[in-house]
């Protein structure tokens, strides 16, 4: 059966897809079923006609964006430290000096992050 064209004659465009958790999907499908509409019709009528309430996320400040960047970079360093400690432990090469060096690096990262957190909104 051919698809119906919209009133303006433009027809349907490209599909949009997104993922939902199982719980959110169940809620969405229940609302669709109660409406008696198809999923697409429900979306068009409920969302596109602003029958939903949208709460915008606050815009992140430049300081917060910088902090997120630093935290992301730091996570890479933490993974490298953990990998080195684990591989040297498994091979039996983890010395007291290496262990102390790794702990010092972790403490420096901790101090840096705590200091940075105090300066962000």
pLDDT digits (tens, 9 = 90+) for 57-99: 678 788 888 888 888 888 888 899 999 999 999 999 989 999 8
CA distance 36 to 28: 13
**Contact present, 102 and 85 (Cβ < 8 Å):** yes
Same domain, yes or no, for 36 and 68? no
What's the pLDDT band for 54 if we cut at 50, 70, 90? Answer: low
Q: Are residues 89 and 111 in the same domain?
A: yes
| Domain enclosing residue 23, as ranges | 18-55
Same domain, 50 and 66: no
Domain-located, residue 7: no
Contact between 85 and 94 (Cβ < 8 Å) = yes
Classify residue 24: in a domain, yes or no.
yes
DSSP, collapsed to helix, strand or coil, labels residue 6 as coil
pLDDT at 104: 92
> pLDDT-based confidence at 37, cuts 50/70/90?
confident
Chain Cα centroid distance, residue 25: 18
pTM of the predicted structure, to 2 decimals: 0.43
């Amino acid at each position: 059966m051919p698809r119906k064209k919209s009133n303006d004659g433009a027809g349907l465009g490209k599909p949009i897809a997104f993922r939902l958790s199982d719980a959110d999907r169940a809620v969405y499908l229940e609302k669709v079923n109660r409406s008696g509409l198809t999923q697409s019709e429900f979306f068009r009528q409920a969302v596109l006609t602003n029958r939903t309430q949208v709460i915008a996320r606050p815009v992140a400040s430049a300081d917060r964006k910088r902090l997120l960047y630093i935290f992301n970079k730091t996570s890479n360093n933490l993974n490298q430290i953990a990998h080195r400690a684990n591989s040297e432990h498994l091979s039996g090469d983890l010395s007291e000096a290496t262990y102390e060096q790794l702990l010092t690096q972790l403490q420096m990262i901790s101090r840096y992050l705590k200091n940075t957190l105090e300066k962000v909104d």
